[in-house]
């Protein structure tokens, strides 16, 4: 095996320097996978030499510099189609051989990535532990007494055991996060619909997401930015907004994060301290922790395995269960047994309750940048699952089952190890379309924790740019400040005041002539010398509201970048030069409020 790790940046360097070729790497990885498979059962189907040859032949004709994933090996959960290779969903009697790959798989191959095999899973992606498969139980990559986690069991192991740079999983109830937490990986569960699910065997089609397992948050960010595209093949596909593009990945600053007021650890004596450490890392980075009522999230999670959504799972498996009951594992039959009795009345009642819970949960998130939880209350052992395959499995989903029901994005992040060596981690989640921001938080946590990632390296901090969320911060210096006439234009758009501060000492302020409606406004401009600190307020508003807000702002005012006294830069109001010439310089007052007071103006 190569002596280096399989991270994207490492492979690029090795290929560029000529120290490695894709053909040599894939041959070594397939050999290693064949050696590991009897112990870990991570693959249902490893590609043969003849099956992988067309990918390598095509790649060798391509320009390395034009393919961002040139020669990157990846694994595919076996409920996701790879053309010409059987898709089983861990059920031999269900298997079929697709003529066309899933949209996401095709996209990755076109970018230069090389599929190496189809990975094991909890049958029909129903389970969170990785033991519910006729192809064998998947044990943990580190500790033999624990499961890999599921349902994307083999996908997590492929990355954790060093036979793939990244892997595709799916996530309906936590299948892309629980295995990540148990195997020292980043598990990105993206916003529903921004990664195509065309060519994926559904668990619950209205909820399913394709996920990425990677060693680092930076790799997950890059993969998401390359593949988050709308897809005509997928009726549930959604457009990824620009604020959630690659440029949004960065370092979070001055953020507020929620922490459940009552944390569930199910009697574990190590998890509370590990969680406290992760929280402390965020606080040390400038975050403000806010305790939240977590009960609405828990109640939403409990809806997932009630009749309506179990019936959605049954819509995929039911015909096979009726025709050949023994084709489906007993534990899966038990989970789906109540589905045939579900009624439309129950469905609508459950949807009404879910909508009420979503309103409550959204209100909690509205004043936060994200929420921090453990990925699971505590790990469960293989022995526990042998004794009771239901309750320990359900425990693993305590912090994950609500996520897709409520339409949130989430990232599972490794932050430590338990005393027995088992990986441990947290999950950060937030509003839909904040994936790249959350990956920035994950990067911060992974780096601050100081633990080795898969491959033996320590993750490098992400770029120095500031992380971007679905909210934008705007510095105002005049009539939009709190209590002044135009503040309503911010408040009505859901804006909240985040900070009262000053600009850097490089600005001047002018009182502009009154507008046609009689409102007085200031004009702020940057100068090379003889500048002053000017009082400003920093407000945060949803990005989707910025356009309508700007439509209310008259010339000569414009939006630009304003430097604050702490050296940071935010979007803010500036004044065009011709406007400055028509105004009166009031910089000596240090701000608009002070000038208004001196003028004894009621506005």
Active site members: 77, 151, 175
Under DSSP, is residue 541 helix (H, G, I), strand (E, B) or coil?
strand
The closest alpha carbon to 380, from 109, 545, 156, 181, belongs to 181
What count of other Cβ atoms lies within 10 Å of the Cβ of residue 519? 15
* Crossing angle between the packed helical segments 344-366 and 307-323, to the nearest 10 degrees: 130
Please tell me the distance from the alpha carbon of residue 173 to that of residue 430, in angstroms, as a whole number: 16
**Max intra-chain CA distance, the chain:** 86
* Interatomic CA distance for residues 415 and 507, integer angstroms: 43
Residue 441 token pair: 């938080």
Tokens found for residue 293 = 């009522």
SS3 sequence, 330-386? HHHHHHHCCHHHCCHHHHHHHHHHHHHHHHHHHHHHHCCCEEEEECCCCCCCHHHHH
CA 598 to chain centre: 50
Say how far apart CA 511 and CA 502 lie, in whole Å: 18
The first and second tokens of residue 33, run together, are: 């996978």
Assigned token pair, 345: 């009345």
CB distance 155 to 126 below 8 Å: no
Closest listed residue to residue 521, CA positions, set 556, 562, 572 = 556
Cα–Cα distance, 536 to 98 (Å, whole number) = 60
Q: At what angle do helices 435-449 and 271-284 cross, to 10 degrees?
A: 110
């Amino acid at each position: 095996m190569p002596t280096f790790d399989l991270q994207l940046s490492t492979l690029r360097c090795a290929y560029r320097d000529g120290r490695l070729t894709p053909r040599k790497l894939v041959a070594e990885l397939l050999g290693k996978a064949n050696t590991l498979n009897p112990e870990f059962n991570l693959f249902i189907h490893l590609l043969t030499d003849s099956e992988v040859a067309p990918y390598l032949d095509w790649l060798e004709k391509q320009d390395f510099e034009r393919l961002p994933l040139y020669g990157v090996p990846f694994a595919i959960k076996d409920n996701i189609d790879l053309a010409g290779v059987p898709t089983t969903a861990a059920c031999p009697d269900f298997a079929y051989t697709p003529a066309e790959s899933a949209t996401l798989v095709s996209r990755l191959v076109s970018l230069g990535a090389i599929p190496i095999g189809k990975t094991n899973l909890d049958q029909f992606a129903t389970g969170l532990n990785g033991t519910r498969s006729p192809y064998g139980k998947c044990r943990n990559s580190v500790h033999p007494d624990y499961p890999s986690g599921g349902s994307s069991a083999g996908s997590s192991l492929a990355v954790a055991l060093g036979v793939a740079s990244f892997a595709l999983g799916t996530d309906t109830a936590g299948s892309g996060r629980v295995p990540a937490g148990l195997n020292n990986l980043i598990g990105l569960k993206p916003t529903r619909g921004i990664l195509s699910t065309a060519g994926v065997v559904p668990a619950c089609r209205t909820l399913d997401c394709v996920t990425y397992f990677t060693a680092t948050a930076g790799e997950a960010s890059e993969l998401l930015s390359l593949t988050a595209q709308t897809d005509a093949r997928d009726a549930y596909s959604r457009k990824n907004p620009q604020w959630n593009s690659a440029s949004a990945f960065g370092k979070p600053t001055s953020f507020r994060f929620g922490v459940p007021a009552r944390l569930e650890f199910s009697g574990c004596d190590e998890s509370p301290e590990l969680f406290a450490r992760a929280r402390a890392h965020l606080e040390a980075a400038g975050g403000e922790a806010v305790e939240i009522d977590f009960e609405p999230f828990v109640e939403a999670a409990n809806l997932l395995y009630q009749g309506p959504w179990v019936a959605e799972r049954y819509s995929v498996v039911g015909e096979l269960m009726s025709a050949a009951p023994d084709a489906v594992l007993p534990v899966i039959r038990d989970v789906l047994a109540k589905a045939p009795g579900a009624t439309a009345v129950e469905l609508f009642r459950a949807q009404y309750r879910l909508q009420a819970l979503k309103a409550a949960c959204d209100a909690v998130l509205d004043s936060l940048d994200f929420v921090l939880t453990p990925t699971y209350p505590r790990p469960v052992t293989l022995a526990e699952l042998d004794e009771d395959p239901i309750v320990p499995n359900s425990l693993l989903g305590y912090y994950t089952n609500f996520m897709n029901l409520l339409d949130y994005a989430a990232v599972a992040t490794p932050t430590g190890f338990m005393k027995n060596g088992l990986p441990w981690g947290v999950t950060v989640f937030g509003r839909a379309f904040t994936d790249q921001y959350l990956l920035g938080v994950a990067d911060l946590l992974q780096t601050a924790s100081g633990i080795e990632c898969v491959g033996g390296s320590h993750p490098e901090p992400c770029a120095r740019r500031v992380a971007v969320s679905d909210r934008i911060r705007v510095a105002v210096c005049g009539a939009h400040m709190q209590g002044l006439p135009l503040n309503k234009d911010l408040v009505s758009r859901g804006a909240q005041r985040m900070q009262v501060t000053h600009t850097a000492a490089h600005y001047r302020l002018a009182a502009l002539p009154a507008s046609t409606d009689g409102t007085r406004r200031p004009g702020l401009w940057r100068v090379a010398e003889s500048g002053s600190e000017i009082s400003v307020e920093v407000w945060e508003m949803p990005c989707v509201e910025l356009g309508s807000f700007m439509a209310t702002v008259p010339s000569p005012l414009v939006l630009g970048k304003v430097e604050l006294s702490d050296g940071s830069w935010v979007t803010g109001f500036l004044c065009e030069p011709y406007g400055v010439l028509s105004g009166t310089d009031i910089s000596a007052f240090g701000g608009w409020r002070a000038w208004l007071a001196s003028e004894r103006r009621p506005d």
